[in-house]
Amino acid sequence: MKVAVIGGGAAGFFAAINLKENHPQAEVTIFEKSKKLLSKVKISGGGRCNVTNGTDSISELAKAYPRGKKQLKKLFKEFSNQDCMQWFESRGVPLVVQGDNCVFPVSQDSQTIIDCFLSTTKKYKIEIRTSQAIELISFDNEKPVLHIKQTASSETYDKAIIATGGTPKRTGLEWLEKIDFSLTDPIPSLFTFNMPEEHIQQLMGIVVENALVKIPGTKLTAEGPLLITHWGMSGPAILKLSAFGARIFNDCSYQFQVQVNWVNIQNNNLVADELKQISEQHPKKQLSNFRPYLIPDRLWQFLLTKTGLPHTKLWQDIGKSGINKLTNILCHDLYTVNGKTTFKEEFVTCGGISLNNINFKTMQSRLHPNLYFAGEILDVDGITGGYNFQAAWTTAFVAARLGEV
Ligand SMILES: Cc1cc2nc3c(=O)[nH]c(=O)nc-3n(C[C@H](O)[C@H](O)[C@H](O)COP(=O)(O)OP(=O)(O)OC[C@H]3O[C@@H](n4cnc5c(N)ncnc54)[C@H](O)[C@@H]3O)c2cc1C
């Protein structure tokens, strides 16, 4: 059996290696369009490669995927994050789970993952062809015929696994549209919010450990650390929101409002009661000198200015309207977003091959029985924290069974 793996990235290598373990007699060839193999793995996680997330529940793991959650939840029973950790450790790549559950190689170097893949493909005699882009697939009695751009030649295989990764432009997927696959419009996910008109940028570097962010008029909400940057807002809460709202934000050309609850308390009465208590317990303190909820000092001064309350006012003189103003700014602080910035270049694609094209029990195409899919080319993507690689490993692992094991 001759099997082609199209794409020499994370999903392609993982599929090729597992395929060879499932079907030792198969002749496996990886086609990579560029000169470099595994280039995203190399730069991933700031050069350290956040291979997966260490959460111990499959339900929690699946929640990290704005697209593909339902399908992945089932697939994780076949190959989970725990299986992934075992897979690497049993192949000589010790891993470490950080306090935030991100998992890295102990070496803290993505090259360790690349070396593992390259030495295993060599051991299994998997052929690797770089600078060979597949520009079209045709069929000969349902067998895929790959048309190679650089050599203007074609080769017939028994089966092919397509793992060509995310592409933020539809043109990158036209060759698959030609063989009738339907696409969900590819657009970027995982970005930070630009706020060119907002003075909050002056507070760059401030982190609020547990904020709640919402997009008014939608159901979009996320919580977690929020970082103020010199262009606007970033941090896990914002990145999560960007992933879950990727399509909504794209539709409004990245112009929208974001509401920040700086104390992540949804019940306004609780916040108002806390402020009232402060006014009773610290009556002679100036507003600027006593910060509720230990809000970072510069942020507190900024918020006070935004309410219009004098910084020198005493807590005892704040009155009901003052409490209302402070409660409002702490719980419903509004900012205008105008544009996005890619987070540490670590974008992923929202969209790709539509999920109804795929049988998620096998990762086999519903249109052409000898084609399988794996990785970010699918309309599947996750938030930051090792989830995107986990989706690549899981889909590749299942595709590598070729529907048989
Ligand atoms: C800077 C950065 C950092 C990241 N860090 C992390 C992280 O730490 N943890 C995490 O979970 N995720 C991370 N991600 C996301 C993660 O890298 C991707 O989700 C993952 O690489 C997807 O794997 P893939 O194999 O599907 O695609 P890719 O890794 O993109 O591989 C696809 C390969 O296919 C090749 N190809 C494309 N078209 C063709 C063709 N027609 N013929 C032949 N070859 C083709 C491409 O050149 C590429 O080499 C990061 C992403 C970026 C950009």
Tell me: the pLDDT tens digits for 125-178?
999 999 999 999 999 999 999 999 999 999 999 999 999 999 888 889 999 999
Does the C-beta of 136 come closer than 6 Å to ligand 1?
no
pLDDT, residue 194, reads 97
Atom 2, ligand 1: residue with shortest CA distance: 346
Question: Is 405 contained in some domain?
Answer: no
Using one digit for the tens of pLDDT, what is the confidence trace for 306-352?
999 999 999 999 999 999 999 999 999 999 999 999 866 668 999 99
Q: Residue 171's domain is classified under what CATH number?
A: 3.50.50.60
Closest atom of ligand 1 to 52 CA is: 11
Question: Is 242 contained in some domain?
Answer: yes
Q: How far is the CA of 277 from the centre of ligand 1 (A)?
A: 53
Taking alpha carbons only, the member of 331, 341, 347 closest to residue 264 is 331
pLDDT, residue 347, reads 82
Out of 342, 366, 385, a domain closes at 342
Overall number of domains in the chain: 2
Taking the complete model, does pTM exceed 0.75, yes or no?
yes
SS3 of 22-75:
HCCCCEEEEECCCCCCCHHHHHHHHHCCCCEECCCCHHHHHCCCCECHHHHHHH
pLDDT, residue 342, reads 83
Q: Are 167 and 314 in the same domain?
A: no
Q: Are 36 and 150 in the same domain?
A: yes
Atom 31, ligand 1: residue with shortest CA distance: 9
Taking alpha carbons only, the member of 174, 164, 143 closest to residue 32 is 164
329: CB partners within 8 A, 6+ apart = 303, 306, 307
Does the C-beta of 352 come closer than 6 Å to ligand 1?
no
Residue carrying the six token digits 């599929």: 15
- What is the secondary structure of 224-269 as a DSSP string? EEEEE-SSEEESHHHHHHHHHTHHHHHHTTTEEEEEEETT----HH
Q: Rounded CA gap, 8 and 164, in Å?
A: 8
Does the C-beta of 40 come closer than 6 Å to ligand 1?
yes
pLDDT, residue 324, reads 98
Q: Are 77 and 124 in the same domain?
A: yes
Q: Are 298 and 387 in the same domain?
A: no
Q: Are 249 and 131 in the same domain?
A: no
Q: Rounded CA gap, 143 and 132, in Å?
A: 20
Crossing angle for the helix pair 39-47 and 111-123, to the nearest 10 degrees: 150
Residue 186 scores a pLDDT above 60: yes
Among 48, 147, 388, residue to substitute to test ligand 1 (most atoms within 8 Å of Cβ):
388
Closest atom of ligand 1 to 390 CA is: 11
Out of 327, 342, 357, a domain closes at 342
Closest atom of ligand 1 to 49 CA is: 8
Determine what percent of the chain is predicted with pLDDT higher than 70: 99
Q: Are 261 and 304 in the same domain?
A: yes
Taking alpha carbons only, the member of 153, 111, 121 closest to residue 134 is 153
Q: Are 124 and 201 in the same domain?
A: no
Contact 160, 4 (CB under 8 A): yes
Contact 378, 400 (CB under 8 A): no
Q: What is the span of the domain harbouring residue 323?
A: 191-342
